[in-house]
Amino acid sequence: MRTAVCPGSFDPITMGHLDIITRASALFDRVIVLISVNAAKKSVFTLDERVALTRKATSHLPNVTVDSWDGLLVDYVRRAGATAIVRGLRAVSDFEYEFQMALANKRMNPDAETIFLTTASENMYLSSSLVRQIASFGGSIEGSVPECVREEILRRFAPDAGRGEQAEAKPASSKAAP
């Protein structure tokens, strides 16, 4: 069984993440989405919340599971019996960091290959931090995150943000209210 690990912080999961996970699920028999703890990042969602949101967003993919880990990625990959690490690239600017990480991972675990998948063009601008910023100001994140997690994200960042998205969907009326 060919197993791949898709690691990330997923704070929150975006359509870009889901695109990469979905495409990886077509290439491998089993894909583990690994929610990692990154001490350098201050997460908005707890680890348990990120796992729950990611499980909800990937529930339609039968060969995808979600797990969490707070150690070295290569240790988890070895423990899971995976042979590949799948990383998404949005732009050339992502490549330098990802390439450096791939080389370090290969040095620590020569049996694991890093596979880079480029995101679909409509998701190239997306990042979790951008989604958080837009949601915190009550902007529309529709189409940026899986629909099944959008309301939870809106509740977290701006309790009245849903009002802004709903207002966008309603056409303006020229009639005065009675």
- Which residue ranges form the domains of the chain, and what is each CATH number? 3-121 (3.40.50.620)
Examine the residue annotation and report whether 17 is marked as an active-site residue of this protein.
Answer: yes
Indicate which residue of 30, 56, 90, 106 is catalytic: 90
- Residue 39's pLDDT is 76
Examine the residue annotation and report whether 41 is marked as an active-site residue of this protein.
Answer: yes
- Residue 169's pLDDT is 36
Indicate which residue of 9, 128, 140, 144 is catalytic: 128
Examine the residue annotation and report whether 90 is marked as an active-site residue of this protein.
Answer: yes
Q: Which residue carries 């309790």 as its tokens?
A: 159
Bridge-based pairing of strands 84-89 and 3-8 is parallel
Express each pLDDT in 40-69 by its tens digit.
778 899 999 999 999 999 999 999 999 999
CB atoms within 10 A of CB 132: 18
C-alpha to C-alpha distance for 62 and 15, rounded to whole angstroms: 18
Provide the whole-model pTM: 0.85
